[in-house]
Amino acid sequence: MADKVLMKGNEAIAEAAIIAGCRHYFGYPITPQTEIAAYMAKRMPKIGGCFLQAESEIAAINMVYGVASCGLRVMTSSSSPGISLKGEGLSYLAGADLPSLVVNVQRGGPGLGGIQPSQSDYFQATKGGAHGDFHMIVLAPASVQEMADLTVHGFDLADKYRMTSMILADGTMGQMMEPVSLDLNVKPMPEKPWATTGTKLERFHNITNSLSLVPEELEELNFKRYQRYAEIEKNEVMYEEYMMEDAEICIAAFGIASRVAKNAIVEARAQGIKVGLIRPITLWPFPKAPFLKATEKVHTFISVELSMGQMIEDVRLATECRRPVTLVNRAGGMIPSPEQILEAIKNAHKNGGAN
């Protein structure tokens, strides 16, 4: 076992990215993720990397586009309003099939919103987040260790499937400190013969492009991209089940919400209520199968979210509306309490799914 170090979630992402071979970071300051930029600003010059503070989130994501075109690992990070600005670039990255890693340490919205934790960018992250048909791989860490692990995994997946991986964290995950092992599993980077690094006059020119003016061809590109997405949905789903063996009530929660939910589950179990948790780690692809399977024993699902209820729609779809799905939520930077969740568990237990 490697030694563990005490790190902030944001710093763990930054160090893990460096371990994954990322040598280019571009970003713009925004709370509550600025520690990532600050960490990169300190580390990159020491290891021959490049940290550059961009003039805007739009510029930052396009600098990412430039480095990604050259076949190198590259990342940017921001928080909710900044991710909206990056939306244009995310769509172009998808259209040009470029790999990149983007971190969203979410805060409450809409608009300028607040600076406290939130999960209200779930729709934006999992349903595309900008114009056109596309997906990002969305990874939701629930510990500082996972902030590091999923950063490395995110780079691997991005390269494997030539698309953007997004770490969808929240202000709490970014700011909290926990011991973390940096003995991370980095896979070798695949060959990138498509990279625009100069022809050396030895090959036909490579073009990084998202423009396709012939509708038949653009349709074909979309179909091919979605074949790749189907492969990801088949192979890359990640989730954690907690006390689900005999559960009659299932909580769905990710990130910080899942940690609060675990407290409530322990308390409910002490009171004799059979409740468990399915924690999606990949929000896209969403772990549909375990939720559908759970409908065999579970009479009620409870979606616990730091939003007005966004993941709940995917839980309903995954369970094919076979069981009621209720919502426990806080919004605008607030976090549901274990008591609030316990109350919902008790209600579900009392009703037994009859509502």
Partner 1 sequence: MVVFDKPHALADLPMHYCPGCTHGIIHRLVAECLDELGIEGQTIGIAPVGCSVLAYNYFNCDMIEAAHGRAPAIATGVKRADPDNHIVFTYQGDGDLASIGMAETVHAAARNENITVIFVNNAIYGMTGGQMAPTSLPGQVTQTSPYGRDTNHCGFPIKVCEMLSELDGPEYLERVAVNNVKNVKAAKKAIKKAFENQINKKGFSLIEVVSSCPTNWGMTPQKALEWVEEKMIPYYPLGVYKDRTAGIVKGADK
Name the residues that contact partner 1, by CB under 8 A: 24, 26, 50, 52, 54-56, 58-60, 62-70, 72, 74, 88-89, 92, 96, 196-202, 205-211
Cα 330–chain centre separation: 20
What's the CA gap between 220 and 218, in Å, rounded?
5
At closest approach, how far in Å is the CB of 45 from partner 1? 13
At closest approach, how far in Å is the CB of 216 from partner 1? 18
DSSP state of 205: P
At closest approach, how far in Å is the CB of 320 from partner 1? 39
What value does the CA radius of gyration of the chain take, rounded to a whole number of Å?
21
At closest approach, how far in Å is the CB of 65 from partner 1? 5
Cis ω for the linkage preceding 32 (within 30 of 0):
yes
Q: Which lies closer to partner 1 via its Cβ, residue 2 or residue 201?
A: 201
Q: Is 78 helix (H, G, I), strand (E, B) or coil?
A: strand
Q: Which lies closer to partner 1 via its Cβ, residue 68 or residue 138?
A: 68
At closest approach, how far in Å is the CB of 85 from partner 1? 11
- Parallel, antiparallel, or unpaired for β 4-8 and 177-181? antiparallel
Q: Which lies closer to partner 1 via its Cβ, residue 16 or residue 64?
A: 64
At closest approach, how far in Å is the CB of 204 from partner 1? 8
CA angle at residue 50 from 46 to 55, to 5 degrees?
A: 130
Q: Which lies closer to partner 1 via its Cβ, residue 50 or residue 331?
A: 50
Phi and psi dihedrals of 56, rounded to 5? -170, 165
Place of tokens 């929000």: 283
Both tokens of 152, joined, read 């490395």
Both tokens of 247, joined, read 């559960």
At closest approach, how far in Å is the CB of 153 from partner 1? 23
CA angle at residue 165 from 119 to 205, to 5 degrees?
A: 150
Q: Which lies closer to partner 1 via its Cβ, residue 207 or residue 308?
A: 207
At closest approach, how far in Å is the CB of 69 from partner 1? 5
Q: Which lies closer to partner 1 via its Cβ, residue 130 or residue 167?
A: 130
At closest approach, how far in Å is the CB of 234 from partner 1? 31
What's the CA gap between 185 and 263, in Å, rounded?
30
Phi and psi dihedrals of 292, rounded to 5? -65, -40
What's the CA gap between 324 and 319, in Å, rounded?
9
Q: Which lies closer to partner 1 via its Cβ, residue 10 or residue 76?
A: 76
DSSP state of 137: E
Q: Which lies closer to partner 1 via its Cβ, residue 92 or residue 286?
A: 92
Q: Which lies closer to partner 1 via its Cβ, residue 47 or residue 270?
A: 47
Residues 6+ apart with CB under 8 A from 59: 26, 28
Both tokens of 185, joined, read 């599993």
What's the CA gap between 165 and 141, in Å, rounded?
13
